[in-house]
Amino acid sequence: MFPITVKYSTFARFQADVGIHGNNEADTAAKSALEFEIVKFKIPSTDLKHFIKLYINSLWQIFWDFCDTSKLYSIQNKVNIPYNFNLKRSDQVVISRIRIGHSKLTHTYLLKGEQQPECIFCDCPLTLHHIFLECPDTLPARNSLLNNVQTMQDLFTQVNISDILQFLQECDFYNKIYFFFYTFIFFIILILKFYARRMGR
């Protein structure tokens, strides 16, 4: 590497179109268009597609912001982020369960009317948050595969999905999270919460 010392600097201001042939004519022609009569004409509907998409996304975002207490909101608070990990079906289901924070392992008790399951190592409520971020029993696998992340949002932004799945396999949680239809019920609860807030205003 060679040291470089700059002793003097010179600044100069130029007009961008000076010396460029045809620029003045182009500017004059553009300004003359302001004097033309406004003409109505049809445009293809596809030209509006982008703006319609933006509008729908903004409505969707408003709806989603009402769900700011949900576990998924803490992971993903913007609705227009593509979510496509190109996984096989069972892996997609497992990852979705983790993202929404509801799984067979942690939420079957609600349907069965039983006590909430506890971690056998910590005697605290068994949640996905506990498994991925807190439990000392999973710490070695977290250190080696999950970079010991501190939040669920970091888990999905800083860790490869394949490592998350491997972590579940090594800790024997994969099959306990798979095979569950709680997602449907979860979204029903979200919708009911949304309308309950609207009615309470």
Q: Distance of alpha carbon 150 from its chain centroid, rounded? A: 17
Helical spans, DSSP H, in 20-173: 23-32, 49-65, 71-75, 89-100, 104-112, 128-133, 139-145, 152-158, 161-170
Which position among 79, 87, 119, 161 is part of the footprint of Zn ion (CB under 5 A)?
119
Distance CA 146, CA 99 (A): 15
Cβ atoms within 10 A of the Cβ of 117, count?
14
Distance CA 194, CA 201 (A): 11
Q: How far is the CB of 137 from Zn ion (least distance, A)?
A: 5
Which position among 26, 54, 59, 122 is part of the footprint of Zn ion (CB under 5 A)?
122
Q: How far is the CB of 72 from Zn ion (least distance, A)?
A: 23
| φ, ψ dihedrals at 125, nearest 5° | -55, 135
Q: How far is the CB of 188 from Zn ion (least distance, A)?
A: 30
Q: What mask, x for binding Zn ion by CB under 5 A, covers residues 11 to 50?
A: ----------------------------------------
**Is the CB of 67 or the CB of 142 nearer to Zn ion?**
142
Choices 7-15, 54-62, 130-138, 184-192 (CB under 5 A): range interacting with Zn ion: 130-138
**Is the CB of 70 or the CB of 127 nearer to Zn ion?**
127
Going by C-alpha positions, the residue among 171, 193, 189 that lies closest to residue 102 is 189
**Is the CB of 128 or the CB of 135 nearer to Zn ion?**
135
Asked whether 116 and 125 are in contact (CB, 8 A), the reply is yes
Choices 76-84, 120-128, 151-159, 185-193 (CB under 5 A): range interacting with Zn ion: 120-128
Please count the residues of the chain: 201
**Is the CB of 55 or the CB of 121 nearer to Zn ion?**
121
Q: How many residues bind Zn ion (CB under 5 A)?
A: 4
- Contacts of Zn ion in 135-154 (CB under 5 A): 135
Q: How far is the CB of 119 from Zn ion (least distance, A)?
A: 3
Distance CA 65, CA 79 (A): 9
The residues of the shown chain that bind Zn ion, judged by CB under 5 A, are 119, 121-122, 135
